[in-house]
Amino acid sequence: MTITVANVTFDYHDYDARGDTLYLSVGPPREGLPVTAIETSEGHVVEYDASGAIIALELLHVRRALQEAGEITVTCPEEHHVQSSTLAPVLAVA
């Protein structure tokens, strides 16, 4: 199952129900990556490789945000909105 956010297709996901945190990455997490990670104004984490490409997202308070607003905002550096229908398949299997 893949999830596309900000024109990046993530093919690996891991949801921590206790922390309500969803980790998305391009391929499985790898040693030595990310090269850079930034925290967005919303508190999420965006990880980049050496070329500056987004390779992972760590989305916080996922279920709560989707229940309250129906979407999650991620600013990296442009603002993107992730609809509940995009993340629902990943959270359903968690």
Domain boundaries, the chain: 3-92
- What amino acid is encoded at 23 in this protein? Y
Task: Say if residue 79's pLDDT is above 60.
Answer: no
Residue 10: what pLDDT? Answer: 94
pLDDT tens digits, residue range 2-47? Answer: 988 878 999 999 999 999 999 999 988 777 767 888 898 899 999 9
pLDDT over threshold 90, residue 48: no
* Contact indicator for 27, 70 with CB cutoff of 8 Å: no
pTM for this prediction: 0.75
32-35 long-range contacts, CB within 8 A, separation 24+:
none
Q: At what angle do helices 84-92 and 62-69 cross, to 10 degrees?
A: 140
